[in-house]
Structure 1
Amino acid sequence: MGCIPSKLAENKSLPLEVAENKLRPAGPGYDDFSILASETPFAANEVETLHELYRKLSTSIVKDGFIQKEELHFALFRNINRRNLFVDRVFDLFDVNKNGHIDFGEFIRSLSIFHPKTSEAVKVKYAFKLYDLRHTGYIEHEEECNESTSICVNLGKLNVLNSWKVYSPPLQLKEMVFAMLNESDLALSDDVVETIVDKTFVEADSKGDGRIDMEEWEEYVGKNPSVLKNMTLPYLLCCITQELNDRKNDDVGGDDYRRKYDFSKDTRDYEAVEQIVPRKPLDRDILLEPIIVNPKVELASEIWNMIHSSYDGLDSGHYPIRSAEGTGGAYFMLDSTGQKYVSVFKPIDEEPMAVNNPRGLPSSLDGEGLKKGTRVGQGAFREVAAYILDHPISGHRTLFGDEKGFAGVPPTVMVNCLHKGFNHSGDFTAKIGSLQMFMENSGSCEDMGPGAFPVNEVHKITVLDMRLANADRHAGNILISKEEENGQAVLIPIDHGYCLPTSFEDCTFEWLYWPQARQHYSPETIDYIKSLDAEEDIALLQFHGWDLPVECARTLQISTMLLKKGVDRGMTPFAIGSLMCRESLNKDSVIEGIVQEALDSVLPGTSEATFLDAVSYVMDQRLDEIANSIS
């Protein structure tokens, strides 16, 4: 997830020559913040913030003010003995002076290579240097290697600690393959990797001379852009922005306007904007404001009313009331009278297994949430995404912002909120989280049997859950209300922090056991399902500031595909939903089998579009088999 630093409004891209010149030996003013800011995409205050990170790294093991190789390994893996070729090469390249450590100037200038705004040409050349282990100017097929120089390669991102495997040569080509498989959790045998390496080398070595030069590398990367995934650290800017926001919160005499930063997407599309949101001085220890990324986004009037009413409640001295239910921190916000709930706030740092979780749950060791395929601290984004993607029956959410969504997800927005009534452990700072409108209700579906629920009310939730591959739909997070006109029961879906996972392993739908799920969809619901477009949904989330991770985007596309294909074949919610849920913990669901079969049918490095075509083909076959077996 990337963030928008103030300087990046210039939307500049560093020329390759300038980037190379930045990586120079130390000289006068080498560590000066302003000089470093002028030579990199970072603003001066961002350089200052990164200095704090540098200070922590450089004193984690050896308190000498320089980053040693062991400190870099320890920061990434919490283990100074774990070896990783990628990290070794990064350290060597960061250590421009070749004196065995990284000083602050080297740290900033080298780190700028991984900045989202640094040009692709710079990243391509830098990546080539990473793989040119012997400094020959070529990526060569074989590297002399013995057991002591075998490498541990992470098939996931650098901060995922559960998918390591030791391999031997050839090193560079394996690294290229692993980069292409960067987003997968595949565990490949040595034989399979060797086969892939051979095929990859043949493709990259277009001149057929047994080695890859820069020209061939650039051509290869152009065809396989996923190779550069490790060359961009979009979440780097989130760390900077978070620190800057915290510092602003401590400034009592600050401006009445706050700069909004993007906490969820790459910075390519939007400039930093000044969102005019007056706020009270922070010496009152109160803050509540929306996080607005894209200036073109207009919040619905009901969301503004919710924010203002919630703030008025805090300003009137009414503390947030922590819910006694659930596994994370959720707070009911009162209006100015203190007699009415107006919203529910869920801070990201109080989510289940997060650092400030108030329920005493242990912190996640590898970042994975309670449900497979989810990440701690991302629940708030999913809460907001569920609202954004709950399109009204009349059309797109951006065109009908004040209209109720098809499934009735309550209005939800990302906010910054500060109050001492939250669970603070240490610093008293503002919290980022989701703010959802409180919905009047008479209880949840746990409080009564499903027989009285209207069919269309159940069906609208089935559509939402299958679209978003909800991993946590139970009777307790479906509220019951009544229409004022006729007293008919209305179901309200809440708690969508485990939607859009990276896999289908934990999909859970309570309504599968309800009789309404075995009835066919109405023509109106079928028309709504046919109007859904996963690509448009992904673009819509990006428009609102969340650049959906590729695995989550894949889940949305596949689940939407299954829902539409199932409806085309006249399948009921039960029939479709059963394909997405496991019968037992150790038996893959049908949709998992479809995805795996599609993965097995395509070559590594295949484009996402080609892979989805393979999924569609396999899915058609499987659905036809099911239909034939029933008939």
Structure 2
Amino acid sequence: SPFRVRKEKLGSLQRFVEHDGCADDFSPTLFPTLEVQRIAVIDIRLFNTDRHGGNILVQRARGPDGTDEPRSPGLKLIPIDHGFCLPDWECALDSLAAADFEWRYWAQARAPMEAAVLEHIRRIDVHADAARLRADEPAPTASGIPALPPLREGCITTMRIGTRLLQIGAAEALTLGDIADIICEPHPQAEHADLGGAGASVLHGLCRGARSEALLRVLQCGKALSVEQRAVVEEAAFHEALDQRLSAYMRALKRQWTAAAQ
């Protein structure tokens, strides 16, 4: 029709996965611990703000003929819909946005991390992953549609924060549920403005404290640094301070648990 105008739009294409329902359709007690913990790891690394039960597909094991395998040792979980991952960390903090983890309320997240999960976390090279994300700038499309913008540095910082939270938590023998609580639960002293105010999470408060410490480090350098050098110093100081604050908080948390158990 001469009245139809061709329009080009940006969109996404997702691979269809055979499944037997979503997590909301099953009792969480049926899910294998390793399957739950695998999803927990990626959600924490990506600061997923939309991990509800409908975004976890459940797949029963199939026999060679394609029928359900009744003797299967468990169900397979398939995470989908990751459009609300990796928010810019400063935007997430300032808006008091909290990640949403459906699995945080499941027993598997409160169980000790599986050996395979611990090994995976130990082997993560956060610096290499950050460099890979910076390098993955999309090429222009052949049709002339503008390419998607590159990932913002603040989003890459979010990945680094989530990954270090995982690695330090694993080293301190916390469960994935414990680590998720640091992201989601209010800080016990959150009413203080320097920790983000009422409703701010533990992670929010720790990040704000680390950011203040990093800015102080830059100020101590005076005018000897260029703008680029100041940015490098501030970034390094922030991550160093955050690592220290995360470790100190987790150790204090464990001391509280030990005292409460006595």
TM-score range, shorter chain: 0.7 to 0.9
Amino acid paired to 1:591: L
* Residue 577 in structure 1 maps to residue 172 in structure 2: no
2:203 aligned to 583, 588, 591, which one? Answer: 591
Give secondary structure in 2 for the equivalent of 1:432: coil
Question: Aligned match of 2:77 in 487, 491, 499?
Answer: 491
The Cα of 1:583 is off from its aligned counterpart by 4.6
Q: Conserved in 1, the CA contact under 8 Å of 2:210 and 2:238?
A: yes
In structure 2, how many angstroms separate the alpha carbons of the residues matched to 1:431 and 1:575?
Answer: 42
Q: Which runs of 4+ in 1 moved over 6 A?
A: none
Deviations 1:249-277 (A, max 9, x none): xxxxxxxxxxxxxxxxxxxxxxxxxxxxx
- 2:18 alignment partner, SS class: coil
- Name the CA distance, whole Å, in 1 between partners of 2:180 and 2:201: 10
**CA deviation map 1:271-317 (0-9, x unaligned):** xxxxxxxxxxxx9xxxxxxxxxxxxxxxxxxxxxxxxxxxxxxxxxx
User: What percentage of residue pairs aligned between the two structures are identical?
Assistant: 34
How far the C-alpha of 1:586 sits from its partner, in A, is 4.5
CA contact 1:446–1:476 (8 Å) conserved in 2: yes
The residue number in structure 1 matching 2:28 is 450
Aligned to 1:353: none
Q: In the TM superposition, what whole-angstrom CA distance separates every residue of 1:17-48 from its partner, at most 9, and x where no partner exists?
A: xxxxxxxxxxxxxxxxxxxxxxxxxxxxxxxx
Structure 1 counterpart of 2:30, which letter? A
Quote the offset at 1:614 in angstroms.
1.3
1:565 aligns to 2:168 (yes or no): yes
Which residue is 1:615 aligned to?
A: 242
**Structure 2: which 5+ runs fail to align?**
64-68, 139-149, 188-196, 219-229
Instruction: In structure 2, give the amino acid aligned to 1:561.
Output: R
Moved more, 498-507 or 455-464: 498-507
SS in structure 2 of the partner of residue 501 of structure 1: coil
Match in the other structure for 2:10: 432
Contact 1:538–1:548 (Cα < 8 Å) also in 2: no
Q: CA deviation at 1:602?
A: 2.5
> 2:43 matched to 1:465?
yes
How far 1:427 sits from its partner (Å)? 5.0
CA positional deviation for 1:433: 2.2
| TM alignment of 1:375-524, pairs within 5 A | 428-485=6-63, 486=69, 487=72, 488-503=74-89, 504=92, 505-524=97-116
Query: Aligned runs of 1:293-312 on 2, under 5 Å?
Result: none
Contact 1:471 1:499 in 2 (8 A): yes
Contact 1:469 1:559 in 2 (8 A): yes
Matches within 5 A, 1:307-346: none
Alignment of 1:543 onto 2:135: yes
In 2, Cα distance between equivalents of 1:452 and 1:432: 39
Distance of aligned partners of 1:607 and 1:452 in 2 relative to their CA distance in 1, 3 Å threshold: same
Secondary structure of the residue that 2:12 maps to in structure 1? Answer: strand
Distance in structure 1 (CA, Å) of the matches to 2:172 and 2:5:
56
Cα offset, 1:428, TM superposition: 2.8
Deviation of 1:541 after TM superposition, in Å, equals 2.5
SS across alignment from 1:601: helix
Residue type of the alignment partner of 1:600: S
2:103 alignment partner, SS class: helix
Structure 2 contact 214–235 (Cα < 8 Å) conserved? no
Counterpart of 2:143 in structure 1 is: none
For 1:453 and 1:577, locate their aligned partners in 2 and report how far apart those are by CA, in whole Å.
Answer: 19
More helix by share: 2
Q: Residue by residue, what CA displacement relative to the aligned partner does 1:322-378 show, whole Å, maximum 9, x if unpaired?
A: xxxxxxxxxxxxxxxxxxxxxxxxxxxxxxxxxxxxxxxxxxxxxxxxxxxxxxxxx
1:430 Cα deviation after fit: 2.4
Residue of structure 2 equivalent to 1:360: none
SS at match of 1:435: coil
- The one-letter code sitting in structure 2 at the alignment partner of 1:599 is R
Letter of the structure 2 residue corresponding to residue 613 of structure 1:
E
Q: In the alignment, is the contact (CA less than 8 A) between 1:453 and 1:489 conserved in 2?
A: yes
More strand by share: 1
Aligned to 2:255: 628
Quick one: structure 1 residues 574 and 551, their matched pair in 2 at CA, closer, same or farther if it must change by over 3 Å? same
In the alignment, residue 151 of structure 2 is paired with which amino acid?
L
Q: Is this contact kept in 1: 2:182–2:203, CA < 8 A?
A: yes
Give the equivalent residue in structure 2 for 1:601: 213
* Structure number with larger C-alpha Rg: 1
**Residues 583 and 608 of structure 1: CA distance in aligned 2, closer, same or farther (over 3 Å):** closer
**What is the CA-CA distance between 1:556 and the residue it aligns to?**
0.7
> What is the alpha-carbon distance in structure 2 between the residues aligned to residue 566 and residue 427 of structure 1?
55
Task: Report the number of matched residues.
Answer: 207
Letter of the structure 2 residue corresponding to residue 622 of structure 1: Y
The SS at the match of 1:548 is coil
- Cα distance in 2 for residues equivalent to 1:476 and 1:528: 26
TM-score of the two chains, using structure 2 as the length reference: 0.73
